[in-house]
Amino acid sequence: MNNIFHEAGFWVAVSFVLFFVFFGRKLWGPITAVLDSRAARIREELDEAARLRREAEQMLEDATREREQALVEAKSVVEQSRKHAAEVAEKARAEAEEAVKRHEQMAYDRIAAVERAAAKEVRQVAIDVAVEAARGVISQSLDAQKAESLVDKAIADLPAALARQAA
C-alpha cells in the first residue's frame, strides 16, 4: 500500500476529486450558466434560421406563383396578339379583294364605255358613208323634178317620224 501513495497519478486523482469536492459547487454554477447561455443562444440562432428558412420558402413559393402567373399572362398576350394579327391579315385580305373587285369593275365600265363609243363612231361612219353613197346614187338616177317631189314628201312625213322616234 505504500506504493500507491508514491505514485503521481494517485495524487493527481486525489487532488482532482478534492478540487471538485471543495470548488465543484462554486464552479458548477458558472459553468452550467455559460453552457446554458450558449445553448440558449444556439437555440435562438436555430429558431432564427428556421424562421428565415420559412420566409425563404414562402418567398420561393410567391416567386414561383408570380412566375406561373406571368407565364399564363404572357401566353394570353401572345394568343391575343396572334388572334389580332390574324384578324388584321383577314381584314387586309378582304380589303385587297374588294379593291381588286372595284378596279376590275371600273375596268369593265371603261371597256363598255369605249365599246359604246366605238360602236357609236362606227355607226356614225356607216351613216355618213351610206348618206354619201345614197347622195351619189340619187344624184345620178333622179332628175330635178323627181328629187323635188321626194324632198316635199320627206318634209311632210317628218312630224310622224319624229313622233315615232320620241315614243
Confidence of residue 38 (pLDDT cuts 50, 70, 90): very high
**Distances in whole angstroms, Cα of residue 9 to Cα of each of 1, 12, 15, 21, 157:** 15, 5, 10, 18, 170
Residues 6+ apart with CB under 8 A from 4: 10
Rounded distance between C-alpha atoms, residue 65 and residue 76, angstroms: 16
pLDDT in tens, 112-142: 999 999 989 888 888 888 888 888 877 777 7
DSSP state of 6: T
Rounded distance between C-alpha atoms, residue 34 and residue 40, angstroms: 10
* Mean pLDDT in residue range 96-109: 93
**Residue 81 in contact with residue 74, Cβ under 8 Å?**
no
- pLDDT of 143 higher than 70: yes
- pLDDT of 66 higher than 90: yes
N residues, the chain:
167
**Residue 25 in contact with residue 19, Cβ under 8 Å?**
no
User: How many domains is the chain partitioned into structurally?
Assistant: 1
Cell numbers placing 24? 465543484
How many helical (H) and strand (E) elements, i.e. helices and strands, does the chain have?
Answer: 3, 0
* Host domain of residue 160: 2-166
Question: What pLDDT does 148 receive?
Answer: 79
Question: What pLDDT does 128 receive?
Answer: 84
Question: What pLDDT does 46 receive?
Answer: 96
Its pTM stands at 0.41
- pLDDT of 161 higher than 90: no
Query: 446554458: which residue's cell?
Result: 36
Residues 6+ apart with CB under 8 A from 147: 138
Confidence of residue 2 (pLDDT cuts 50, 70, 90): low
Phi, psi of 151 (to 5 degrees): -65, -45
